[in-house]
Amino acid sequence: AQSVAQPEDQVNVAEGNPLTVKCTYSVSGNPYLFWYVQYPNRGLQFLLKYITGDNLVKGSYGFEAEFNKSQTSFHLKKPSALVSDSALYFCAVRDIGTGGFKTIFGAGTRLFVKA
């Protein structure tokens, strides 16, 4: 069965510092991996995805994520955090082997960027 773990409920970082939001996954086959962000009273917004190819994926708002197959991780990163990045971040996975449409989300990590 597919599963996603986001080990940190909250990540605190000072504005201008680099940030990392962690995600590990478990699938029986090869994964498709996604990151979404949720702002208060708004729907989930797509940030980036890994399908195949280069392990470093670049996405919206300066975010990037690195796929590490041996560690089954897909951590979200940004070189310099902004206060406006404060939001709830979700990692998600689809198992290619099961046909790929069912998506499993992690429990979310709240990012707090302090000015």
Smallest distance from another protein to CB 16, Å: 29
Beta strand ranges found along 6-86 (DSSP E) = 10-14, 19-21, 24-26, 31-38, 44-50, 56-58, 64-68, 73-78
- What does DSSP assign to residue 42? S
Q: Binding mask 37-56 vs another protein (x if CB under 8 A, - otherwise)? A: -----xxxxx--x-x-----
Burial class (CB in 10 A: 0-12, 13-18, 19+), 113: buried
The answer to the question of residue 96 lying near another protein (CB under 8 A) is yes
The answer to the question of residue 61 lying near another protein (CB under 8 A) is no
Q: Which is nearer to another protein, 56 or 83 (CB)?
A: 56
Interaction site with another protein (CB under 8 A): 4, 32, 34, 36, 42-46, 49, 51, 90, 92, 94, 96, 99-108
